[in-house]
Structure 1
Amino acid sequence: MYPSNSAHSQDIPYDPLPLTQDPPRDSIYHDPPSPHASGFDTPPVEMSYFSDPTPPGAAQPRFLGAALYDDPSTGYRDSFASQNTQNTFRTAPSVVNSSVYALNPDTPQAGAYYDDPHDPEYNTGPGQGASSDSPRYLAQKRSAYTVPRVKSKRGLIIAGSILAAVIVLIAIVVPIYFIVIKPKSSSSNNSSVSPSSPTSTSTSSGQPSSAVVVTGGDGSTVTTGDGTTFTYSNSFGGTWYWDPQDPFNNNAQAQSWTLPLNQTFRFGTDQIFGVNLGGWLTTEPVSCAPALYQKYPQAIDEWTLSQAMAADTSSGGGLSQLETHYKTFITEQDFAEIAGAGLNFVRIPLPYWAIEVRSGEPFLPKTSWTYFLKAIQWARKYGLRINLDFHALPGSQNGWNHSGKFGTFNVLYGPMGIANAQRSLDYIRIIAEFISQPEYRDVVVIFGITNEPQGTSIGKDALSRYYMQAYNYIRKASGIGEGNGPFISYHDGFLGLSQWADWLPNADRIALDDHPYICFDSQSSAPMSSYAQTPCTTWGGLMNTSMSAFGLTAAGEFSNAVTDCGLYVNGVGLGTRYEGTYTGTWPVIGSCTPWTDWQNWDSTMKSGIQQFALASMDALQNWFFWTWKIGNSSATGVVESPQWSYQLGLQNGWMPKDPRVASGTCANQGIFSPPLQAWQTGGAGAGQIPAAVTASYTWPPSQISNAGAVSLLPSYTPTGTVATLPPPTFTYSSGSSVKTANAGNGWQNPSDTASGMVAITTCSYLNPWVGSAAPPSPLCSSGAAARAVPDPLITPSPRQS
């Protein structure tokens, strides 16, 4: 565990977190166990049999432990009390913040107080504890809490008179203080304070407000940023936390069995139970509200959707419709529901136009970034961790609609392939600098640098060099070792997990991303129940092997779909393989209606889907379901791709309420046995990549597919201004003034001063999205060509954290 609160907040006194699991009493406090050791497994605090008198969200004392549950027959541990020379038992349970551990010695000893009324020694011997020879005799406690002597009547009268005088004095002084002195003092004092109590009178907008609760658990009322409220539902012991005066506090915890954000997630040991927020900040027809695309029949991707929206200014609202989508499709309540569903991660696809656009690119620039900042805030509030997935790159990395533009792909492929890769690496560096800041690194803990590159066409050599260069940029931004920036997640490029075994040995915290789908292969009319063990036999062994041969391996995407049925699953107007209407020649298997008409699914269908989901979760071990939410069709008003929606499955009974129940579904599959090697999680040896390995992955490659020698292709030069990402703004009231919290400046490593990749003014360039075409000739005037391809960036020596 490492401290997660930023340096500017180190002087804030934080309350201790509530214990979620009491330590075994006898193993911790008695060695060897005391004669009264019960052996009773203590339940977590949230399962206590009695109500908690502390305020909502307030922490339990850290010394509270298993003694509370020491007697399994009664469900609580009663305590011993001493009054003068007579000892009695309390007839009610001890309060939850009793200090029994602070009183008891580590081992029984003569003359020491031992607070256990069930000890046989208490029931033997004269006086039952009154004797000075008994361990019940607490001399120090008696001296501190002596029984008051009986006073004379005159003494009582004098004491009463003094008390009455004090009361009169208080009645005069207190009003004067609050009416005259305190307002004057407050108006002259503008210093900022950092509260440690569970309430706050500040707001993120700087507007005055009444005292509000800043933390709570199941059944508590949550007030959102826009002032609306909802009831937080989390039966797994999760707690939300949001204090506008302390906006980077990481006390929140998604579930009792998931470490809070202020503790390091133990990759390889703690399981990733994640869900994608597909179609939110990077739109695509199947995942976001299909109605967004159905309104414009010519739109097949965000490029054409943006063009159609921009042209529709008279009634449609123009390109601002995209921001309306950002505001409404995913909200804060979705994050609360995700934590309440037993999930601990969200994977958020982010496009390059969150940073900037260049000439001719129709996307709405920079706006989605402001909503990603909201996502960080909401994830922090509910204890969720984020996998930021760089989902759409300039020129497209795969030619599919979710990359921004359907058709050709132009990253590491084709005549503009190297220039687009240079620009993409710049954006990776910019994102890495932002999320490596201490204000964000405990929330955004995974960075997926490129979603689904076409590795089979790009080739492993060029893709590996690109991946290596991204590693260099990210670790220069973050530093080396646990707690310094994110895990770096690499998609396997559809080359297969086995192709990456032993790749980049000793690299600091890298992960392999696989997207196991079976719905895009050959189709079958077999019933859903026939797929019960398919994930176990298909994916389980591959994931186990990769966890050992490579390191952390996760499924960045998977779904419950076993056919390609569903609205826009393959894209707008592309049909389905199942019905024989997809591009190419496909046999007709049947009608898609039984696979999409979820309102009429019977219990057999639902249980079949759930069994498939459980098998997938167990086989994949660390996973992100695609996707949390599917929007309704504007034609039917309902979801038409039901096997892709986690939320819909929860609401209708085909997704598990608790993802942990998946464990053991794939019996005898040799599930990976943790932990990962130390260097794989940022420990000893992390970053010590052998020199021979780094030399084999120098950047750029000498050639790229479908284009030839890089030296003959259009390239950019590092002479431009870097488009840094702006941080959020948090303001709050402090006395009579408004304060602004330090949110970082967007750039973690001030020594990273390299300029951005831009075009050379004397060179000729093709459209970045051109596809196959002959490069312009000549490319550049004399002298410019030498600047087009920068010198290789060699992996720097790892910095010590």
Structure 2
Amino acid sequence: MASCLYLLLAFYITFSQAQPFKAVNLGNWLVTEGWMNPSIFDGIINKDLLDGTHVQLKSTKLQKYLCAENGGGTSLVANRSIPSDWETFRLWRINDTYFNLRVLNKQFVGLETQGNKLVAVSNTAGDPETFHIIRNTNDPTRVRFQASNGQLLQAQSETSVTADYGGSVSGWEDSDPSVFIINIVRTLQGEYQITNGYGPDKAPKVLQDHWNTYIKSEDFNFLSSNNISAVRIPVGWWIAHDPTPPKPFVGGSLKALDNAFTWAEKYGIKVIVDLHAAQGSQNGNEHSAARDGFQEWGDSYIQVTVAVIDFLAARYANRPSLAAIALMNEPQAPGISLDTLTKYYQAAYEAVRKYTQTAYVILSNRLGPADPTELLSFASTLNLVAIDVHYYNLFWDGFTKMSVQQNIDFIYNSRSNDLRKVTTTNGPLSFVGEWTAEWNVKGASKEDYQKFAKAQQEVYGRATFGWAYWAYKCASRHWSLKWNIENNIIHP
């Protein structure tokens, strides 16, 4: 009799968690994304020169761009009229004014071993690869670079870039070979950037204040009152890189996550814990804690990433609000192969199952050039798993040309078909883990937004594990579920 009761209880727990969720992502809380709350970066000096900022440098005298020939491995030149990848440098921030510069092939710009010539040959950054960036107070796009030998860089000719300028620094004229125009072509505003940007003295307080105020108990009350049945919580760089308390960043982040479970249980909401920022960065984006935009995650990072999943599963497996653990957010193809990803998913799945047989394990599809059904056969060998797909009517040029009705038709036709491909009868469940009411339509009315959101709710409601809106709060209002609910755009 006892065994029968146990089976019935296990069935009830599993069945109740398998109901399609109406969920929301608590984005920009334990994972920083600057575009969602730009003001959090306001206190950083030289906040436009954070880690990972992609810059191009134009000699005012030559009117040509600096170039790491062949993407690195040799000398720097100053002979390009139009900048591209070889002419783009990625900043590593040492402090407010000192930086390293990384090139396409991942080497660092520095002084040659003997002499003052600029080369990009080192795979590590030390004193010879460190530069003091001096900005013109009246025009911060005009800069000089002081090398570790104390001398300024100069572009003497198209083939000679050296650190030996001996002229006057009182002016910033175009004729001065030590003056460069710095053109910022990409910025990253994630956890690494905010932490290293503020530095070890200020960053702990900034982040603690953010974690303590951005999401509170009353937010869970609001969600529960508006028919949201689950939250997907992206966890970020500090937990992923060393989850062991009581280190100040890790401890504060974990305390916030602990609070979320408590609040969820108070208001009858389930929790999906999502590993958003794996060591090495699985996609090179700011929300995967990339320092400079390079995607480094691969086989050598599997063991440490599984250890993070093991830690999370051990910590939260017995919490009644735990619905699922998502093993990795948005791995990017082709940088991550299917073989490497499934190897990691298998090991991480087993780590979760050491602690719980009832929580779901969520496997994110690869972004980029990958078959959306490629995980189905693998996932079918596992128990209680869901395939995570993300659908946005953004990030593709074709959407910019679509009208309101064409966007809505795309949801009912193309997206419906996409979802059908990953929704199986006896295999893994399907989960639309990210979607939003924002789009590229200009001048759309409130009614247009309502129809667009309704179409997505209808279609994504067919996902057998459910959907999760991105995000709960956001400075861009149509990205914010809270704003959309309060302004009668979305009715969960």
Under TM normalisation by the shorter chain, which class is it? 0.5 to 0.7
Question: Would you say 1:512 and 2:397 are equivalent positions?
Answer: no
Deviation, structure 1 residue 322:
0.3
**Distance in structure 2 (CA, Å) of the matches to 1:306 and 1:338:** 30
Deviation, structure 1 residue 553:
0.6
State the AA in 1 paired with 2:377.
Answer: D
Contact 2:241/2:279 (<8 A) preserved: no
Contact 2:388/2:432 (<8 A) preserved: yes
Larger radius of gyration: 1
**Distance in structure 2 (CA, Å) of the matches to 1:497 and 1:525:** 25
Q: Which residue of 1 aligns with 2:446?
A: 606
Q: Which residue of 2 aligns with 1:618?
A: 458
Pick aligned residue for 1:467 from 333, 341, 345: 345
The share of aligned pairs that are identical, in percent, is: 23
Change (3 A) 1:453 1:355: closer
State the AA in 2 paired with 1:411.
Answer: W
Q: Which residue of 1 aligns with 2:33?
A: 284
**Distance in structure 2 (CA, Å) of the matches to 1:294 and 1:421:** 36
What TM-score, normalized by structure 1, do the two folds share? 0.39
Question: Would you say 1:409 and 2:287 are equivalent positions?
Answer: no
Q: Which residue of 2 aligns with 1:647?
A: 482
Q: More deviation in 495-504 or 419-428?
A: 495-504
Question: Would you say 1:499 and 2:374 are equivalent positions?
Answer: yes
Q: Which residue of 1 aligns with 2:328?
A: 450
Change (3 A) 1:397 1:355: closer
**Distance in structure 1 (CA, Å) of the matches to 2:212 and 2:12:** 31
Contact 1:272/1:345 (<8 A) preserved: yes
Instruction: String of CA shifts for 1:158-200, please: whole Å, max 9, x gaps.
Output: xxxxxxxxxxxxxxxxxxxxxxxxxxxxxxxxxxxxxxxxxxx
Change (3 A) 1:324 1:337: same
**Larger strand proportion of the pair:** 2
- Equivalent residue of 1:556, what SS? strand
- Equivalent residue of 1:490, what SS? strand
Residues 206-225 of structure 1: matches in 2 within 5 Å?
none
**Distance in structure 1 (CA, Å) of the matches to 2:430 and 2:230:** 15
Deviation, structure 1 residue 364:
2.6
What TM-score, normalized by structure 2, do the two folds share? 0.63
**Distance in structure 2 (CA, Å) of the matches to 1:357 and 1:513:** 26
**Distance in structure 2 (CA, Å) of the matches to 1:617 and 1:434:** 33
**Distance in structure 1 (CA, Å) of the matches to 2:402 and 2:380:** 43
Question: Would you say 1:433 and 2:314 are equivalent positions?
Answer: yes
Pick aligned residue for 2:431 from 554, 557, 578: 554
Instruction: String of CA shifts for 1:263-296, please: whole Å, max 9, x gaps.
Output: 6263696221010000001111123x22112443
Change (3 A) 1:536 1:294: farther
Instruction: String of CA shifts for 1:444-465, please: whole Å, max 9, x gaps.
Output: 1110011111133211111111
Deviation, structure 1 residue 352:
4.7
Change (3 A) 1:548 1:263: closer
Question: Would you say 1:422 and 2:303 are equivalent positions?
Answer: yes
Deviation, structure 1 residue 485:
4.1
State the AA in 2 paired with 1:266.
Answer: F
State the AA in 1 paired with 2:301.
Answer: N
Deviation, structure 1 residue 545:
3.3
State the AA in 2 paired with 1:619.
Answer: V
State the AA in 2 paired with 1:609.
Answer: Y
Q: Which residue of 1 aligns with 2:252?
A: 367
**Distance in structure 2 (CA, Å) of the matches to 1:627 and 1:344:** 15
- Equivalent residue of 1:497, what SS? coil
Residues 113-132 of structure 1: matches in 2 within 5 Å?
none
Instruction: String of CA shifts for 1:43-67, please: whole Å, max 9, x gaps.
Output: xxxxxxxxxxxxxxxxxxxxxxxxx
Q: Which residue of 1 aligns with 2:400?
A: 524
Deviation, structure 1 residue 306:
0.5
Question: Would you say 1:544 and 2:420 are equivalent positions?
Answer: yes
Greater RCO, CA 8 A, separation 6+: 2
State the AA in 2 paired with 1:443.
Answer: S
Residues 696-715 of structure 1: matches in 2 within 5 Å?
none
Q: Which residue of 1 aligns with 2:112?
A: none
Contact 1:344/1:385 (<8 A) preserved: yes
Contact 1:267/1:552 (<8 A) preserved: no
Deviation, structure 1 residue 529:
4.4
Contact 1:306/1:364 (<8 A) preserved: no
Change (3 A) 1:420 1:645: same
**Distance in structure 1 (CA, Å) of the matches to 2:241 and 2:380:** 34
Q: Which residue of 1 aligns with 2:411?
A: 535
Deviation, structure 1 residue 398:
1.1
Q: Which residue of 2 aligns with 1:301?
A: 190
Change (3 A) 1:318 1:475: closer
Contact 1:389/1:448 (<8 A) preserved: yes
**Distance in structure 2 (CA, Å) of the matches to 1:419 and 1:435:** 27
Residues 328-339 of structure 1: matches in 2 within 5 Å?
328-339=213-224
* Aligned residues between the structures: 332
**Distance in structure 2 (CA, Å) of the matches to 1:509 and 1:606:** 39
Deviation, structure 1 residue 383:
0.3
**Distance in structure 1 (CA, Å) of the matches to 2:490 and 2:27:** 18
Structure 1 gaps, min length 5: 4-261, 413-417, 479-483, 564-591, 596-603, 631-638, 660-801
Deviation, structure 1 residue 498:
1.7
State the AA in 1 paired with 2:363.
Answer: Y
Deviation, structure 1 residue 320:
1.2
**Distance in structure 1 (CA, Å) of the matches to 2:14 and 2:487:** 31
Structure 2 gaps, min length 5: 4-10, 51-188
Instruction: String of CA shifts for 1:287-341, please: whole Å, max 9, x gaps.
Output: 3x22112443234221121112226x5xxx4421101001111111111101111
- Equivalent residue of 2:238, what SS? helix
Contact 1:355/1:366 (<8 A) preserved: no
State the AA in 2 paired with 1:375.
Answer: A
